[in-house]
Amino acid sequence: MKHARLRFALLALLLFLPGTLAANPVSDPTGGLVKGFGIAVVAFALAAEVILTSTVVIWLCRIGDRPPLVVSIALLNLLSYTIFIRMIYPRTGMILLIELLIWIVEAFGMLVISHRLSDKPLSPKRALAISCTGNLLSFLIGYGA
């Protein structure tokens, strides 16, 4: 258990590394701070969402082999963030529509993941509720920054 916590702590530190590097004041003492802080907040918001959604799915579906689930949900979140927030949102500016699409896509992804990894998979309603809760958490963290 101690080694798992240490690995998780190291992984969390690696998530903040891009933000730290972007905030490096080599040329301008304050120029990179905003960008670095923004990257760190995004990483923290995504990590919080992955932790919350993974925990709930593990609990509801009684999944014993947890690393594949956590990795799958993390990749799902990174993919949806990259496609919807980084690529589509700047062109549309419609945050509510983008968040709704993310909610639906991630709920569908959780359904697929839980069906592959558990004998007691999520129902569509539970997947939507978990996705909504996780995305609301990450949205509030990112929006508050």
What is the pTM for the complete model shown? 0.75
What's the CA gap between 64 and 69, in Å, rounded? 10
Instruction: Using the structure block, give the residue that is written with the tokens 């702590």.
Output: 9
pLDDT of residue 130: 96
Look over the chain and give the mean of its residue pLDDT values, rounded to a whole number.
82
pLDDT surpasses 80 at 45: yes
Helices 31-61 and 95-117 pack at an angle, to 10 degrees, of 40
pLDDT of residue 113: 94
What's the CA gap between 5 and 59, in Å, rounded? 18
Residue 85 has phi, psi (to 5 degrees) of -85, -45
pLDDT of residue 114: 94
Q: What is the mean pLDDT of residues 14-43?
A: 63
pLDDT surpasses 80 at 141: yes
Secondary structure (3-state) at 78: helix
39: tokens are 């990257």
